[in-house]
Structures are given as C-alpha cells and as structure tokens.
Structure 1
Amino acid sequence: MQEEGVLPSKVTIISILNASALYTCLLEGKQWHAQIVALYFESDVVVGTALIHMYGKCKSLTTARLIYDMIPNKDTFFCTAMLAAYAHYGEIDEAFAIFDEMLSRGIEPDNVSCISILSACVNKTGLDDGRLMHMRSIFCGLDQDARVLSGLINMYGKYGSLEDAIRTLEVSSWRRKDMYLSALSACANQPDLVEGRRVHTHVVEIGIELEVPVGNALINMYSKCGILQEARAVFEKLPEQDIVSWTVMITSHAQHGQGAYALYLFDLMQLKGINPNKVTYTNILNAFTHAGMVDEGFQYFGYICQGQSSIQPLVDHYNVMVDLLGKAGRLNEAEDLIKKMPFPETVCTWTSMLDACRSHLDVERGERLAEHAFRMRPSDRAPHIMMHNIYASIARSDDGANSLYRSKDGTS
C-alpha cells in the first residue's frame, strides 16, 4: 500500500495493531508504532489504546506505560487498556493505581475495568484484593452491573467466601442464570450444604429450577455434599436430562460406594438413548478408583475395550485402570495392563504404578519399573521423585537421596 503512495488510515493501523496483539507479534507491532510516529498519530487516544493493548499482550508493559503517560487526553477505553494489561500479569497494585487515577480525573471506569481486576484477583492475587475491588465497584455504581456481579460471585466462590458470594447475589437486582450457576458451583466446591440450599431456594423462587444447566448444578452440589437422596430428587424432577446430568449422577453414586446403583443408572441412560462420551467414562472410572471398586471399574472398562461403546479407549482410560488396580494392591494385573496398552506410557502411567509400589512397600518392583521409566524418558524427573518417596517410606534415605541426585544431574 505504502509503495503505491497510499498512506494507511487510522482504522487500518488499529486493525493491524489488534492483529499484532492477537498473535503477539511484537516486532511487527513495533514497526507499525514507528509508522504511527511518522504519521503523527501517536497522540491520538484511540491509536494509543490499540498500542497499549498490543504492547500489553506482548508482555512489554514498560513501553505500554510510556505511551500511557505520554497521552494527556485519556478516556475510559485508554485507561482500561493499561489497567487490563497490568491486571493480566498480576500487577495488581499498578492496576488499582490506574483505576484510582481514573476516578480522580473524573474518568468513569466501566465493567471491563472491574472485571479485569477481579479476574486477576481470582487467578493471581487473592481475596483481599477482590474485596477492595468490590468496594470500588460499589463506589462507582458498578456493583449492580450483571457482568461485574458474576465476577464478584465467582471471585468469592473461588476463595470459599460463600456468605459473601450469596449476599452479593441476594442484593442484586439481576436474576441471571449464570450468577446462580457460579454460586452453586462454589457451594459444591466447598462443599457447603447450608449455603447450597439457600441458593436452591432462590432458584425455585425465580422459576429456573427445572432448567437443565441449573438442575445439573443442583445435582452436583447435593452430590458433592453427600446428600444423594436430594440429588436424585432434583434429577428425577427435571423434564429432561442431558449427558451431564447422567454423568454427575453416575459418578457421584460410584464415589459414595453405590456401585450397583451407578451401573443401573449407566444402563438406564443408554436405554433412554443417551450415549456416554469419553469424559463420562473417564469420570466414572475415576469415581470407582476413588471408591476402590475394582470389579465395577473393570465392567465399565470392558464396555470400551470390547466395542460395546461408541468410543475408542483412550490412554486416560488405561491410566485410570492402572491407578485403580495399583491402589487395590493388584500390582501384577496393573503391570500386565501396561504391557497391553496400545499407547505409549505417559508420566501418569508411571507415577500411578510407582505410587502403588510405595503404598504397598513393593520396592523391588518399584526399582524395576523406575529403571524402565528412566530409559524411556531420561529427562523426566517424576520417576526419580517417586523412587525417593518409596525409599523414604521404608527409611532407605540414602537411596532416596541418590535418586534425587540422579534426577538433578540427569543421570540414571
């Protein structure tokens, strides 16, 4: 374009900068930054916003900040671009400083400003920073924004502050399904039956109890709280159940030692024309491992391996079965299964077996398997660490130290 004497427009430049941000092409972004300077667009707040976004995505926060400080006529989008870049990399103090600067300049933050900081609090910085952001959102009048509310509920739920999460939900003027789903997920993760029932009351009041995603969240919450009778009641009340509904029900009953009922549900699901997927099988096998139900686990595994299922067995399914057999002390069968695997062994395969050797004090087998793992994956430290744990369990600390030494220097 420029070779033909046509200068790029501001819209073109912004589009290119956004593409550079998307693909983190810092070199190309810098080249266009030079063009922006040559075209006297550098003081334009819209172009500046795109530059900050690009440099932020490319982890060049220092340059982004130089641009931020250089442009005097800041607006909400411009400031939020800088704030979001800081928040993305966990620079929470700097993000708060930008937010507070916006308030002092009379620039109104928007929901993206709040959500950027809340996301950083969830992923990197913690509950205290989240509470500070909540107070700022109230001050700005953004605490009733639907997206901010969802972010607050998710943040409180992540850190187990369920009372705060549900209080935030209750004072909201919104009745959005995603907010209740976030609250129910938090109650399940704790698990907290009292707060979960409190949310259940609200979803009944607003008439969304029978919607499948909400019903699934309720089933999951009651299952995680160990109240299978109420999980069943919700399940049976749903006008329709999807694969998630069935998977949660089957998995939860298996985890609580009710293998026969889990198998019954599995058969019933297929009779109703719902075929299990690979996630269903993995979750169910993990549940039987958790409950120590080897025979039931083999029955499900057989469905896959004998072609009775619409899916092919995956390495994850084999690894779960190795773990199940190992935990049950059936190490010969676990080792035989590894030999029959139609896939290369993974780190998970060896850590499961070596952990079983540690639990059942089978040092000789552990040493043999670890040596094989060393040869297969010489750069993998996991077998060395597992052997250290095996030796430590029988007080052979010198051997454990030697194993760790080999792990650090790369020898075997």
Structure 2
Amino acid sequence: MRPPPQLNAAAANRIIHLLATCNSPTHIRQIQAQLILHSLYADTTIAYHFIAACQSSGLLDHADLLYAPLRRPHVFICNALIKAFSHSQFPRKAISMHARMQSSCVVPNNYTFPFVLKAFSDLRDVKRGQSVHTQIVKMGHLNDIYVQNSLLNLYASSGDIGLCRKVFDEMPQRDVVSWTVVITGYREAGKFDDALVAFEQMQFSGIRPNQVTMVNALSACSASGALEMGVWIHDFIRKSEWELDVILGTSLIDMYGKCGRIEEGIAVFQIMKENNVFTWNAVIKGLALAKSGEEAVRWFSRMEQEGVKPDEVTLIGVLCACTHSGLVQIGRQIFSSLVDGKYGFHPGVKHYACMVDLLARLGCLQEAFKIIKEMPSEATKAVWGAFLAGCRAHGDLELSEVAAWKLIDLDPQNSGYYVMLSNLYAQMGRFGEVERVRSLMKKRGLKKDLGFSTVELQPQDHVHMSY
C-alpha cells in the first residue's frame, strides 16, 4: 500500500468541514468519490470523520467498502470501523473487521478490544468472545481497565455471572463501571440478593455510585422487596442533589410500588419534571399491587387525559387493578375498547388472562368461557389456570373439569393437574373417572407429589411428617 499523500492543513480542514456539514447520502457519496479520485481516504484524520459521517447517515456499508481494498489499513482506521459497527445494528461486521485485521497482520491495540467485546456482548456470543479474551491475555492488554470492564460486560450480558465475577475478583483496580456491570449482571441473572451485596461492597470500597448503578440497584430492591435499601438509595439521591430524570425517577416509583409503599412512589412522581409511559405504568402497577383498584383506574384516566398513550403493559396493570378490586364493569369497558383497537393494538394473551381472571373471580364463568373460546390464539396455562380457580371457587364442577383437562393437554407432565382432576371426579361421585385419571398418571409415569407438615414442639425443634 502506498503511503497516504501529505495534505496541507487548509485542504484537510475543507474536507473535514464538508464531512461535518453533509446532510444527505448524496453528499456522502460525492465526498467519497473525491476521496477515491485523489487517494485521500487512507489519511487517518479524514478516515475518522468520513466513518463518523457515514455512521450518522446510516451508510456504514460505504465506509466498509471504501476501506476493504486496503491491504494493510492503519489500526486507527480499523478501530474507527469496529467502533462504528459495534454501535450499529450490525455488530457482526465489527467482528468481521477484527478478523480482517488479523488476516492483514494489523496488530490490535487496547482501543480495539473494548468495541470487539461489545459486539460479542450484543450477540451474546460468549464462546467466541472467550477467544478474544485469550488474545488479550497473550498481547498483555489485560490490565487495561476499559478492556477489563468490557470483559465483565461480555460475561454478564451472556449470563455467565461466574466468569464475570472471576474476572472482577482478579482486577487490581475497579471503577464505578466495573461495580455497576457486576451489579447489573447479578440482577439480570435473577440473583437479586447478590446484586445488593455487591452494591454494599461497592460502598465499602469507597467507589461512589452513579445513576446507572442506582437504577440497577433499585431494580434489585424491587425484585427482592428490599425496601430499607431502596429508601437508603432515595436518600443518597436527595443528598447528592441528582435530578430525577425519567429513568431514575421511574425506578424509584417501581421500587416503592413493589415494596408496598406506593404513596412514596406517587410523591416521587409529583416532583419529576418529565415522565413517560413507563413512569405512569409504574404508578398504575404499584396501585394495582396495593389492591387500590379505584385509584389505579383514576390514574389511568388521568394518563389518557394528559395525552400519554397507554401501551400493552398499561392495560395489563389497569385490568389487574380491576381484578383486585372487583371492578368488573370498568374492566369490561376497558377490555372492549382494547378489542376495538382504541389503543392502537389488540389484546395479547396476558390481557385475556387478566380479563378471564376478573370474570371468573366474580362468578361470571360463562362470560369468561366465551372470551376464552373467542381468543385469536390458543389459550395458555395462565388463562385456563385463572378460569379453573374461579370455577372451583364458585363450585362449577363441570367447567372445572373442562379447564382441568385443558391444563393436562397443555402440560401433560404436571402431576398436580391430574390430582386436581381426580379430586374433582371424586367430589362429583364419578369414581370410575377417578380410576381412569389414576391409570393415565401411571401410564405416563407420574406420581403424586408427597406433601408434608411441620409441627413446632419446642423452640428450634421441628418434626417433619411426610404423607
């Protein structure tokens, strides 16, 4: 490859200015033609601005095609392309660029690896990402904290929290990003207590959390019901005088709602300068969990009046609120509007499950059964389970039988459904059917789960009896 021509500062600045101000794909193509005509594309400064312009215009393929013929592109150009593709909808191209570097004998540096690892993280490709981890170790870049944090993110986002923690424990230094990735990894893996332990360890280490840390810690508090920790985080936010933006404020409301303190969540809502549909959903779901259905419906009406368009989650929340408070008529109206397409989407399985649960709980069994039969897709276990619970509560044995058989069809390995059906037949005096269900269980290799009871005789002395 011949060396790039030396540009005078004025010419370079003119090209960079054109790239910074171009506002259409046509302009990008015209500049690209000039770069090719005058062999200027190998200049690293121009390359950086050209790749950035292509990225902002959605024309990264043009940049890729322009630099693909270079036999040994400068590592700076390779890094710029990898970075751009890793932040695009085509992370695989970032990985391809890294492979091209290796085949062209271009030595990657510590700026290369974070974006390659980001691409593997987005693709959840931990196996191939580990090969890059090996390359990092061999090339001596493992002590770079940005590379280490990218490795943490690779393993955390892929669900391998064990490897994530191993890398973390071996890091000589950790910053707020390191701790936040670990906390997020535990949260996403469903290990909420571990996430909160890591959050506490972060405090003891002297690293100050940022807003992203707090959002993930609050999410762990919400899932585990750790109200005390959630309140501490709220106090920290107040003392730090952070602005309650949409994400942080919504996380606080969600935490208070799921921990049974929705009044504090509403107080947060009142002081937020900006909110969105997720914020409203957090309030409505919090009120629904508190079994204050009327208040949840009022907030839903207020949401519509303020011009915030409800989404699927909003309707699930408000229908659940109707269920908890027995607001069957309001539930019917909302569900009817949903079916009619008032909100721009049609009801999903969860909406049907909520409506069936509402009607079945209040004894409107035939109406609930009709809704199930009119569902555009096959009813799920959640739908039939809600229906069965209502049928049993109101003593309708025939419909209970229908629901129980449907549940067996959907989950034939669940012995609990057979036992329930057998008990129903015994209650109806149909002992021949009882034997038929038991024979079916035996044929399918199922056994009734053993139950047990616990009796406390003295403090810390227990007797467990199985039957």
Q: TM-score range by the shorter chain?
A: 0.5 to 0.7
Q: What SS does structure 2 have at the residue aligned with 1:100?
A: helix
The equivalent position to 2:368 in structure 1, one of 356, 362, 367, is 362
Equivalent residue number for residue 298 of structure 1: 294
Equivalent residue number for residue 146 of structure 2: 147
Q: What SS does structure 2 have at the residue aligned with 1:346?
A: coil
Equivalent residue number for residue 121 of structure 1: 120
How many residues in Structure 1 have an aligned counterpart in Structure 2? 353
The equivalent position to 1:324 in structure 2, one of 303, 306, 320, is 320
Equivalent residue number for residue 109 of structure 1: 109
Aligned-partner Cα distance in 2 for 1:43–1:280: 48
Seq. identity, % = 12
Q: What are the Cα deviations for residues 176-229 of structure 1, in whole angstroms up to 9, with x where unaligned?
A: 2232222212222222146325523531322246877655543432432x2525
Equivalent residue number for residue 284 of structure 1: 283
Q: What are the Cα deviations for residues 348-374 of structure 1, in whole angstroms up to 9, with x where unaligned?
A: 56336445456667364578xx8xxxx
- 304 and 190 in structure 1: CA distance in 2 versus 1, 3 angstrom threshold: same
- 210 and 234 in structure 1: CA distance in 2 versus 1, 3 angstrom threshold: farther
Aligned-partner Cα distance in 2 for 1:276–1:28: 37
- Are 1:118 and 1:155, in contact at CA under 8 Å, matched by a contact in 2? yes
Equivalent residue number for residue 402 of structure 1: none
Which structure has the highest helix share of the two?
Answer: 1
Q: Which ranges of structure 2 fall in alignment gaps of 5 or more residues?
A: 1-9, 361-366, 385-401, 404-467
Matched, 1:240 2:238: yes
Aligned-partner Cα distance in 1 for 2:82–2:272: 47
Matched, 1:95 2:97: yes
Q: 1:19: Cα distance to partner?
A: 5.1
Kindly name which structure, 1 or 2, has the bigger radius of gyration based on alpha carbons. Answer: 2
Equivalent residue number for residue 345 of structure 1: 342
- Counterpart of 1:71 in structure 2: which amino acid? L
Equivalent residue number for residue 229 of structure 2: 231
Q: 1:64: Cα distance to partner?
A: 4.2
- Counterpart of 1:176 in structure 2: which amino acid? D
- Are 2:356 and 2:372, in contact at CA under 8 Å, matched by a contact in 1? yes
- 281 and 210 in structure 1: CA distance in 2 versus 1, 3 angstrom threshold: same
Deviates more, 1:116-125 or 1:320-329: 320-329
Equivalent residue number for residue 4 of structure 1: none
Matched, 1:251 2:254: yes
Q: 1:157: Cα distance to partner?
A: 1.9
Aligned-partner Cα distance in 2 for 1:137–1:12: 39
Q: What are the Cα deviations for residues 152-176 of structure 1, in whole angstroms up to 9, with x where unaligned?
A: 3233222222232233333334432
Aligned-partner Cα distance in 2 for 1:139–1:327: 60
Aligned-partner Cα distance in 2 for 1:16–1:263: 54
Map residues 65-76 of structure 1 onto 2, 5 A cutoff: 65-72=64-71, 74-76=73-75
Q: What SS does structure 2 have at the residue aligned with 1:316?
A: coil
Equivalent residue number for residue 188 of structure 2: 189
User: If the length of structure 1 is used for normalisation, what is the TM-score?
Assistant: 0.66
Deviates more, 1:146-155 or 1:48-57: 48-57
Equivalent residue number for residue 430 of structure 2: none
- 303 and 92 in structure 1: CA distance in 2 versus 1, 3 angstrom threshold: closer
Matched, 1:178 2:177: yes
Q: 1:125: Cα distance to partner?
A: 4.8
Aligned-partner Cα distance in 1 for 2:210–2:334: 42
Map residues 202-213 of structure 1 onto 2, 5 A cutoff: 202-208=201-207
With a CA cutoff of 8 Å and minimum separation of 6, indicate the structure with the bigger relative contact order: 1
Deviates more, 1:116-125 or 1:137-146: 137-146
User: If the length of structure 2 is used for normalisation, what is the TM-score?
Assistant: 0.59
Aligned-partner Cα distance in 1 for 2:194–2:21: 45
